[in-house]
Amino acid sequence: MKKALFKSFVELTGNPVSSALLKSFTGSRFSRPFIQPFSNAYRINNDEMEYPISHYKSLQALFTRQLKDGIRQVDPSMNVLTSPVDGVVSGFGKIATDQSFLIKGHQYKINEIMGTSEKAAAYKDGMYYIFYLSPSHYHHFHYPVTGALVSRYALGGVSYPVNSLGLRLGQSPFSTNHRLISEVMTDFGKVAIVKVGALNVNSIQLLNSSKECIKGNDFGYFSFGSTVILFIENHPNFTPTVELNSEVLVGQPVGKWIQ
């Protein structure tokens, strides 16, 4: 029961009024007494935090925490795709030629997620990865590759929680949620990083607007619950190196281009 309450603090609901109230509460000093119980309930590794837990003045501050420098090891190989987040690999596979694929029992068209069929065309027959971030996870996102930013744009105005309930009840939640899409050109083709907001409000915060993308660099965070989707442009020698439903950390290899 306690864990369900805490989860509502960071994933919220599809109701704009209750979401706004919870957002206000979690960002206020009144939420501070919940910090330690929240940490205990989700077994958050306090040793990884940038500051001691006593430093954080609200649940929101804890949720958007940074980690200590160097705590995540990033695979430096240029031909290795790394995880952009700490999370669970809830899906991956080949993007079907009809531009749709199965996510948690639902079919989603890539052109709906990307906004247009022209944008989606670059990833035809490529690969996708879906990373789910639970309340226990560190909620910053990092570049999974090194390259040059060629496109960044926002889509969506309606949000539903990105969890199993939201996927059952929401009307195509991945294609209607607020999302921020970054496309990076690499030596092996384009990689799209789709940050999906899980709320009724825009919960995606960018740390900088640089067009230089360096693998492992922190470039933003989610204020609340979230999901990240990667689309990899088709390449004959790309192969996944991770298992479905496995826990991954920022910088951990999840695929590679075999040279």
pLDDT reading at 187 higher than 90: yes
47 classed as catalytic: no
| pLDDT greater at residue 186 or residue 101 | 186
Phi, psi of 11 (to 5 degrees): -110, -25
pLDDT at 66: 96
Residues 6+ apart with CB under 8 A from 220: 140, 141, 180, 195, 204, 205, 206, 207
Cα–Cα distance between 68 and 180 in angstroms, integer? 26
88: β partners? 132, 247
pLDDT mean over 181-210: 86
- 222 in Cβ contact with 197 (< 8 Å): yes
86 classed as catalytic: yes
Nearest C-alpha neighbor of 193 from the set 124, 244, 144, 238 = 144
| pLDDT greater at residue 238 or residue 173 | 238
226 classed as catalytic: yes
Cα–Cα distance between 102 and 91 in angstroms, integer? 9
Cα–Cα distance between 256 and 247 in angstroms, integer? 18
pLDDT at 255: 98
Q: Which of the residues 31, 58, 86, 178 is marked catalytic?
A: 86
Q: Which of the residues 137, 139, 140, 142 is marked catalytic?
A: 142
**With 0-12 CB in 10 A as exposed, 13-18 as middle and 19+ as buried, what is 141?**
buried
Could you read off the pLDDT of 205-259 as tens digits, one per residue? 899 888 999 999 999 999 876 889 999 999 999 999 999 999 999 999 999 999 7
Cα–Cα distance between 183 and 236 in angstroms, integer? 20
pLDDT reading at 105 higher than 60: no
Could you read off the pLDDT of 116-161 as tens digits, one per residue? 889 999 999 999 999 999 888 999 999 999 999 999 998 876 666 6
Nearest C-alpha neighbor of 56 from the set 24, 86, 22, 29 = 29
Task: Please state whether the predicted TM-score (pTM) of the whole model is above 0.85.
Answer: yes
pLDDT at 119: 92
Residues 6+ apart with CB under 8 A from 188: 79, 233, 235, 238, 257
pLDDT at 179: 84
pLDDT mean over 39-44: 91
182: β partners? 152, 193
pLDDT at 55: 96
